[in-house]
């Protein structure tokens, strides 16, 4: 039996509607070709899942386009006043931006630019319909020397609109414990207007993170986000969900 650490694999599970789903995962680093592959594998899902979230935030907080560096390229849409914004065009631009961001070629950046991320370990998990291999959702998360031991950061979790409300989000979150059983804490953030996600996280056992990690390479306007954490000492909801995942011994 090999003692080699697995860097990929797959799990079989049923969503709450009884449909069989495959969760395929890889572990990689930012300078690896597999990182670009992982990002591209979730590009379309992220575009579909988060366009509505970002649109909802901008509609509630149009002032953010002048405050948040990430949103400044939307300023031209707001130049004639909030009442004249073409929200359909904004949504289309959001979808395109999200897809382009995930399809970015990181190989063109050298180690100096990527230095803050070189020692981080990244995981991509993509959920697919077992029968059709259609991508349904994803989660990506990372481990960093900057985090406390046994901490993991979820950097994205999204479900395509047609697969929402099927329990897939909790299954994807539970894959963290199947891949990394020693994890003690998961932390993440979401837009303050993303009420669907906030309700889901709370129902899974997440609580408000009173002291979110300051990451100097990320310029975040904290008032625009809710920071949450899941601690195994306080909840076992996600771990129990992980027990439903059946390994397919890939990788």
At residue 2 the predicted structure's pLDDT band, cuts being 50, 70 and 90, is very low
In a domain, 188, yes or no: yes
pLDDT above 60 (res 199):
yes
Per-residue pLDDT tens digits for 184-198: 999 999 999 999 999
In a domain, 68, yes or no: yes
At residue 222 the predicted structure's pLDDT band, cuts being 50, 70 and 90, is confident
Per-residue pLDDT tens digits for 31-47: 888 999 999 999 999 99
Q: Helices in the chain by DSSP H: which ranges?
A: 33-60, 87-102, 168-179, 195-203, 237-242
CATH of the domain at 91: 3.40.630.30
Highest-confidence range of 52-61, 64-73, 218-227, by mean pLDDT? 52-61
pTM passes above 0.85 = yes
Please tell me the least confidently modeled range out of 54-58, 68-72, 190-194. 68-72
In a domain, 80, yes or no: yes
Q: How much is the pLDDT for 1?
A: 38
Residues contacting 92, CB < 8 A, separation 6+: none
Give me the mean pLDDT over the 211-235 stretch. Answer: 85
In a domain, 2, yes or no: no
Per-residue pLDDT tens digits for 128-167: 999 999 999 999 999 999 899 999 999 999 999 999 999 9
Range of the domain at 107: 8-247
CA angle 160, 156, 133 (to 5 degrees): 40
pLDDT above 80 (res 250):
no
**Helices and strands: H and E segment counts in the chain:** 5, 9
At residue 4 the predicted structure's pLDDT band, cuts being 50, 70 and 90, is low
Percent of the chain with pLDDT strictly greater than 90? 76
Q: Domains in the chain: how many in total?
A: 1
Q: How much is the pLDDT for 106?
A: 75
């Amino acid at each position: 039996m090999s003692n080699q650490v697995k860097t990929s694999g797959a799990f079989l599970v049923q969503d709450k509607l009884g449909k069989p789903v495959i969760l395929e995962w890889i572990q990689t680093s930012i300078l690896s070709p597999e990182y670009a592959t992982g990002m591209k594998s979730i590009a379309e899902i992220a575009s579909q899942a988060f366009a509505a979230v970002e649109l909802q935030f901008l509609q509630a907080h149009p002032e953010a386009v002048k405050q948040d560096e990430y949103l400044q390229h939307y300023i031209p849409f707001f130049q004639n006043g909030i009442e004249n914004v073409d929200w359909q065009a904004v949504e289309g631009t959001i979808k395109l931006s999200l897809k382009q961001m995930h399809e970015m070629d990181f190989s063109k950046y050298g180690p100096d630019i990527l230095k803050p991320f070189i020692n981080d370990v990244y995981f991509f998990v993509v959920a697919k319909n077992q029968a059709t291999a259609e991508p349904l959702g994803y989660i990506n998360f990372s481990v960093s020397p900057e985090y406390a031991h046994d901490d993991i950061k979820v950097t994205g979790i999204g479900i395509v609109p047609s697969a929402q409300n099927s329990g897939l989000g909790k299954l994807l979150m539970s894959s963290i414990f199947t891949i990394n059983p020693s994890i003690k804490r998961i932390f993440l953030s979401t837009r303050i207007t993303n009420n669907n996600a906030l309700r889901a996280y709370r129902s899974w056992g997440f609580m408000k993170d009173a002291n979110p990690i300051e990451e100097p390479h990320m310029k975040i306007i904290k008032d625009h986000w809710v920071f949450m954490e899941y601690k195994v000492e306080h909840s076992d909801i996600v771990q129990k969900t992980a027990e439903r995942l059946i390994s397919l011994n890939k990788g």
